[in-house]
């Protein structure tokens, strides 16, 4: 479908973010997203699964499906969608967590995020024990765990009296920062690079990735419909995708957007957690004074 309606490069990009097929993405494009700290856009992860779940949820609500039932049906549709893409650690983790959160919402029960993350990891390793040594598995759980641990105290510290500013600026930045500080030592040690603008890049680029994913799903749904409808949706896909690429290229062109290192000591895994823990401890004591 994508190959018949889009040029080769656009088709490869759309198949990467929708079907998880990133094998044919050009090295140049990968390098640009790597420099901005958004290379995870090409790996179907919790971000993608959350966007797709939200798409199903909104669609069901438009069709006037009851609110609580929409949670379960959206998660079920997400599971069906997952059967069409490669099963990777981040995909299984996101599915388990979203299903548990939806089930708790349906039952009107409180969900425990860290417990759910631990359960997802346990089930994932039963399904595929060797994932324990997989970069994708480790980064997925480090990033998610970091968000769950660091987001609440950081948001409480930085939030302002302006609700919309907190919701659309402060909150996304803290989510990105929480994930970045959690994966920082692992990426630096194993991949020998660090994006210095990843927090800003994710804040700027994620909305356009969201629009591209949602419009691509709408295109698939309306594919059997008349020509002019499909062409209108294609135009929106091109617009959101082109803006995404343009902004990413501009951000990646900054001289110090990314730094590369030749060697990193394994001591970073001992020193870095101590620094993070000390920072939170000092901040906690300062606020108590």
Please give the pLDDT value at position 46: 82
Q: Is residue 230 very low, low, confident or very high in pLDDT (cuts 50, 70, 90)?
A: confident
Using an 8 Å Cβ cutoff, are 44 and 35 in contact?
Answer: no
Outline where the chain has alpha helix (H): 2-5, 8-19, 27-35, 46-62, 67-82, 89-107, 113-127, 135-158, 163-165, 171-191, 198-221, 227-252, 268-288
The conformation of residue 25, written as its DSSP 8-state character, comes to S
Tell me the mean pLDDT in the region 187-204. 90
Q: Which residues pair with 194 in a beta bridge?
A: 259
| Res 36: pLDDT | 92
Tell me: the pLDDT tens digits for 250-279?
999 988 888 888 888 888 888 888 877 776
Q: How far apart are CA 13 and CA 281, in angstroms?
A: 43
Tokens 């927090």 sit on residue: 199
Question: In whole angstroms, what is the distance from residue 105 CA to residue 97 CA?
Answer: 12
Q: What's the Cα-to-Cα distance from 180 to each of 17, 32, 122, 196, rounded to whole Å?
A: 21, 18, 24, 10
pLDDT tens digits, one per residue of 13-66: 888 888 777 777 888 888 899 999 988 888 788 888 888 898 899 989 999 999
288: pLDDT strictly greater than 80? no
Instruction: Please compute the mean of the pLDDT values over residues 166-186 and round it to a whole number.
Output: 90
Phi, psi of 45 (to 5 degrees): -130, -165
CA 249 to chain centre: 20
Per-residue model confidence as pLDDT tens digits over 212-222: 988 888 887 77
pLDDT tens digits for range 129-138: 999 999 989 9
The full length of the chain comes to: 289
> What pLDDT band is residue 225 in, cutting at 50, 70 and 90?
low
Q: Count the neighbouring beta carbons within 10 Å of the beta carbon of residue 57.
A: 20
Residue 85: predicted pLDDT: 83
Under the banding of pLDDT at 50, 70 and 90, the label for residue 280 is: low
How far is residue 85 from each of residues 40, 78, 88, 92, 273, measured CA to CA in Å?
16, 11, 9, 11, 35
Strand partners, 260: 193
Each residue of 79-130: pLDDT tens digit?
988 888 888 898 999 999 999 998 888 888 888 888 999 999 999 999 999 9
Element (DSSP H or E) covering residue 26: none
Cβ(209)–Cβ(239) under 8 Å? no
Cβ neighbours of 25 (radius 10 Å): 17
CA atoms of 217 and 220, how far apart (whole Å): 5
Task: Give, to the nearest 10 degrees, the angle between helix 46-62 and helix 198-221.
Answer: 40
- Cα–Cα dist 40/44, whole Å: 8
Q: Provide the pLDDT for residue 286.
A: 52
**For 44, which DSSP code?**
-
Question: The whole model's pTM is what?
Answer: 0.86
Give pLDDT, residue 282: 63
Query: Do the beta carbons of residue 157 and residue 217 sit within 8 Å?
Result: no
């Amino acid at each position: 479908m994508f190959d018949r309606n889009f040029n080769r490069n656009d088709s490869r990009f759309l198949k990467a973010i929708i079907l998880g097929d990133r094998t044919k993405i050009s090295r140049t494009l990968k390098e640009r997203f790597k420099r901005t700290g958004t290379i995870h856009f090409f790996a179907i992860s919790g971000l993608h699964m959350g966007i797709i779940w939200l798409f199903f949820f909104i669609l069901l609500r438009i069709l006037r499906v009851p609110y609580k039932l929409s949670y379960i049906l959206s998660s079920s549709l997400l599971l069906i969608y997952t059967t069409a893409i490669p099963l990777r650690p981040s995909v299984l983790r996101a599915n388990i967590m979203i299903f548990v959160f939806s089930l708790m919402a349906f039952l009107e029960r409180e969900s425990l995020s860290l417990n759910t993350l631990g359960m997802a990891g346990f089930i994932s390793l039963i399904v595929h024990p060797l994932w324990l040594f997989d970069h994708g598995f480790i980064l997925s759980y480090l990033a998610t765990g970091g968000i769950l641990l660091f987001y609440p105290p950081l948001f409480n510290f930085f939030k302002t009296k302006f609700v919309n500013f907190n919701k659309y600026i402060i909150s996304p930045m803290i989510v990105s920062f929480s994930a970045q500080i959690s994966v920082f030592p692992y990426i630096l040690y194993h991949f020998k690079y660090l994006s210095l603008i990843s927090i800003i890049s994710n804040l700027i680029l994620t909305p356009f990735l969201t629009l591209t994913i949602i419009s691509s799903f709408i295109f698939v749904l309306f594919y059997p419909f008349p020509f002019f409808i499909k062409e209108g949706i294609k135009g929106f896909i091109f617009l959101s995708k082109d803006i995404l690429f343009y902004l990413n290229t501009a951000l990646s062109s900054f001289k110090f957007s990314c730094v590369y290192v030749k060697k990193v000591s394994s001591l970073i895994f001992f020193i870095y957690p101590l620094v993070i823990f000390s920072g939170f401890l000092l901040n906690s004591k300062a606020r108590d004074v």
